[in-house]
Structure 1
Amino acid sequence: MRPGTQMQTIVGLDPTVADALRSRLAEVADRAVLAIIDEVPSYAGALTGRMGEVIRNAVQLALGGFLTLATRQGAEAPRAPAIEGAYQLGRGEARSGRTVEALLAAYRVGARTSWRDMADAAVEAGIDAGQLARFAELVFAYIDELSAASVAGHTDELESSGRIRQRNLERLARALLGDAPPDVVTAAAERAEWEPPGALTAVVLPESQVSHALTALDPHTLQPTDDVPGLPEGHASLLVPGTGSATARRALLRALQGTDAVVGPSTPWLEAAASHRRTLRCAALGLEGLVDSDDHLAALVLSADPEARADLRARVLAPLADLRPSTAEKLTDTLRSWLLHHGRRDAVAEELFVHAQTVRYRVGQLREVYGDRLDDPAFVLEATLALA
């Protein structure tokens, strides 16, 4: 949308004054450009480049449109070319990375410089006081309209480019989580203008906490918006850039304090899918509060294949199947504690709240059932995994 204002001021410049102004148009434009480059930091050094030519042309177009407007005698003068030029200038400035504040500052400086030069020329050409006052009124109404058109162009460009970049970032996140080939992911990162970090860390957290978390995280954090397989209902995924160092991980955990986030391992950025998969497995453990998956590696290993673990447990405990249920339960608890405490009888007794002699008796029962297998490293490993 290109906004405009209705300028009702009629100047009707004398042809002699108009000709004098038109003859100095290029000179006025050049001085306006120089003033903008000198006074607005964002435009420093722009005169020698392509942008200097763009600005100069835009200023000349604007001044030419203004003189056409100022010489009308009551009929509406066409100003669409100048408005369109201002709109396109705003889009170009957004693409160049300049802010709307810098753009408006350029308008203020350019308007001041142009008005001073044109007023001097008009006075030299014999403009009367009444015309000069109307001339000033028209100048600033015209600048308001042009600057509004440029702001609209700047806004439209940012919204358009922002939507495109957001789509590219979403495609990048999808490629990362989908284990796409490295060349595909790298190309997606280039399209999204996203600089690959040293590492990525997957984070899963409630959707209601995403906005709060993003304010404390790296601004280049990726947020997949498509349906993510395995993601718990009401939760979101983030891919947080970092270096992969212990210091960076501590900083990430501090930034997520107060959330119920599950933080996955830090992996090379092209291996982010592995971090995401482990994060989902850790989230499935049902832990509360801020969870660092690195603190739960054993639980993750033991829960990686629950069916296989159940089969292993059944095989380890098969020799106890013919005993009374109460006896089998006591011996199972004793076997587990004996394995975890490496046969230290006092530690087993303390954990099970029984006398050390009771532990001796139960271990004797276990040896009767299992025989030499209690001393077999392979069986000890299987039993430890099954009962841990």
Structure 2
Amino acid sequence: MATHSVRPATQLQTAVALDPDVAEALRSRLVEVADRVVLTIIEEVPSYAGAFSGPMGEVIRNAVQLALGGFLTLATRRDGAAPPRAPAVDGAYQLGRGEARSGRTVEALLAAYRVGARTSWQDMAAAAVEAGIDADQLARFAGLVFAYIDELSASSVAGHTDELESSGRVRQRNLERLARALLTAAPADAVNAAAERADWEPPGALTAVVLPESQVSHALTALDQRTLQPTDDVAGLPEGHALLLVPSTGSRTSRRTLLRSLRGTDAVVGPGVDWLAALTSYRRALRCAALDLEGLVDSDDHLASLVLTADPAAREDLRARVLAPLADLRPSTAEKLTDTLRSWLLNHGRRDAVAEELFVHAQTVRYRVQQLREVYGDQLEDPAFVLDATLALA
């Protein structure tokens, strides 16, 4: 991967031109200084307590030695000589990327640089004084030390930032692929592989939530961090709306918690299903959204309406068949008998309840039911017809 182009914190124009004896004295102490820098970082920066025991520890040690060696190369150059491109700057960039992959924050990285700068300056200044460096040269030496550390830390921060952005983009793409696999009914092994690539731990269940795009940010603050938010075109999703696939345990308690988290939104909440069956939850949420209900909608509260509207054309055919015996009556009579039949079915033949619902006298209900019996005959006692009529007229 190409390294990031980092603008140095300083142009490192400070010329020190260390005397050869001083430079040699410092170079002989490089390994010792590097080791003390590492030990001090371990002691003073908690995030690095166990960092040097694994492979990354060797990388960090090498980076410290490379940085110190690169510094001495700069410190011994003469006035007018072009500063060499220090390999340490590129090494610092790669170090920053590695630290991001290891999960350490940029704050921890900068703290390590501060500790390393202080420790290396103390040791190198003491060695330089012991080797006979003069006061003017020591002052320029100090300026170069801290300018050099600024450049290295800037390069490491750039590497850390680039790694986070790069890994974040990769993980987001993998999460998108996972969501797409779930919503296209991909084979279970393919979905599991997508979840593994996205470093996404499958939950006990997933619940589809359809809501306005303007309410997504608010909702996400209260939902499980593993919530999937497909941003590719999702088949069937109404314009201006978004889909969330929210992890849960699938229990009643988990559902109550989800609904409580979505209060104040116009979300339509599908059923909690096995996470591999997320498409089922999405389809039901879509159908419930088509009912044009207001506010927060729990699809579990509208199962009957969903059943009755599952196939509108079939329901219309069933209604026409149920009401066919009334087709030869006057329209006004047919309408009254239709209302009476519906109420009579839903109230289980309780005359007073039917009269109250239709705002008519009980005797009127009795008369109309008698008319229905004349038209339908024994069908009113046939369970199959009662079921058909209830579904058709409900």
- TM over 0.5, yes or no? yes
- For residues 204-283 of structure 1, the aligned pairs below 5 Å read 204-283=210-289
SS in 2 for 1:101: helix
Instruction: Give yes or no for the alignment of 1:91 onto 2:97.
Output: yes
Give per-residue Cα distances to partners, 1:12-51, cap 9 Å, x unaligned.
Answer: 1111111111111011111111111222122111222111
For the residues of structure 1 that align with 2:217 and 2:52, how far apart are their CA atoms? 42
For the residues of structure 2 that align with 1:42 and 1:365, how far apart are their CA atoms? 86
For the residues of structure 1 that align with 2:41 and 2:59, how far apart are their CA atoms? 13
Query: What residue in structure 2 maps to residue 2 of structure 1?
Result: 6
Q: 1:32 is aligned with what amino acid?
A: V
Instruction: Give yes or no for the alignment of 1:26 onto 2:31.
Output: yes
Query: What residue in structure 1 maps to residue 129 of structure 2?
Result: 123
Check the 8 A contact 1:319/1:369 in 2, yes or no: yes
Paired residues, what number? 388
Equivalent in 291, 300, 307 of residue 306 of structure 2: 300
Query: What residue in structure 2 maps to residue 320 of structure 1?
Result: 326
Q: 1:111 is aligned with what amino acid?
A: A
- For residues 1-388 of structure 1, the aligned pairs below 5 Å read 1-4=5-8, 5-74=10-79, 75-388=81-394
Q: 1:317 is aligned with what amino acid?
A: L
Check the 8 A contact 1:21/1:122 in 2, yes or no: yes
Q: 1:116 is aligned with what amino acid?
A: Q
Q: 1:3 is aligned with what amino acid?
A: R
For the residues of structure 1 that align with 2:22 and 2:203, how far apart are their CA atoms? 62
For the residues of structure 2 that align with 1:141 and 1:116, how far apart are their CA atoms? 16
* Structure 1 portions without partners, runs of 5+: none
For the residues of structure 1 that align with 2:60 and 2:89, how far apart are their CA atoms? 14
For the residues of structure 2 that align with 1:359 and 1:80, how far apart are their CA atoms? 99
For the residues of structure 1 that align with 2:39 and 2:300, how far apart are their CA atoms? 59
For the residues of structure 1 that align with 2:241 and 2:232, how far apart are their CA atoms? 12
Q: 2:274 is aligned with what amino acid?
A: P
For the residues of structure 2 that align with 1:369 and 1:357, how far apart are their CA atoms? 19
For the residues of structure 1 that align with 2:287 and 2:185, how far apart are their CA atoms? 17
* Structure 2 portions without partners, runs of 5+: none
Identity %: 84
For the residues of structure 1 that align with 2:57 and 2:327, how far apart are their CA atoms? 88
Q: Which moved more, 1:76-85 or 1:340-349?
A: 76-85
SS in 2 for 1:216: coil
For the residues of structure 1 that align with 2:334 and 2:110, how far apart are their CA atoms? 82
For the residues of structure 1 that align with 2:253 and 2:314, how far apart are their CA atoms? 37
Give per-residue Cα distances to partners, 1:280-332, cap 9 Å, x unaligned.
Answer: 11111111111111111111111111111110011011111111111111111
- TM-aligned CA deviation for residue 144 of structure 1: 0.7
- TM-aligned CA deviation for residue 70 of structure 1: 1.0
For the residues of structure 2 that align with 1:303 and 1:155, how far apart are their CA atoms? 52
For the residues of structure 1 that align with 2:145 and 2:365, how far apart are their CA atoms? 99
Return structure 1 stretches of 4+ with deviation > 6 angstroms. none
For the residues of structure 1 that align with 2:140 and 2:287, how far apart are their CA atoms? 74
- TM-aligned CA deviation for residue 221 of structure 1: 0.8
For the residues of structure 2 that align with 1:3 and 1:198, how far apart are their CA atoms? 48
For the residues of structure 2 that align with 1:6 and 1:180, how far apart are their CA atoms? 56
Q: Which moved more, 1:197-206 or 1:123-132?
A: 123-132
Q: 1:313 is aligned with what amino acid?
A: R
- TM-aligned CA deviation for residue 209 of structure 1: 1.3
For the residues of structure 2 that align with 1:96 and 1:3, how far apart are their CA atoms? 25
RMSD: 1.0
For the residues of structure 2 that align with 1:126 and 1:250, how far apart are their CA atoms? 76
Check the 8 A contact 1:34/1:47 in 2, yes or no: no
For the residues of structure 2 that align with 1:337 and 1:366, how far apart are their CA atoms? 12
For the residues of structure 2 that align with 1:202 and 1:100, how far apart are their CA atoms? 36
TM-score between both structures, scaled by the size of structure 2: 0.97
Q: 2:330 is aligned with what amino acid?
A: R
Give per-residue Cα distances to partners, 1:345-380, cap 9 Å, x unaligned.
Answer: 111111111111111111111111111111111111
- TM-aligned CA deviation for residue 256 of structure 1: 1.2
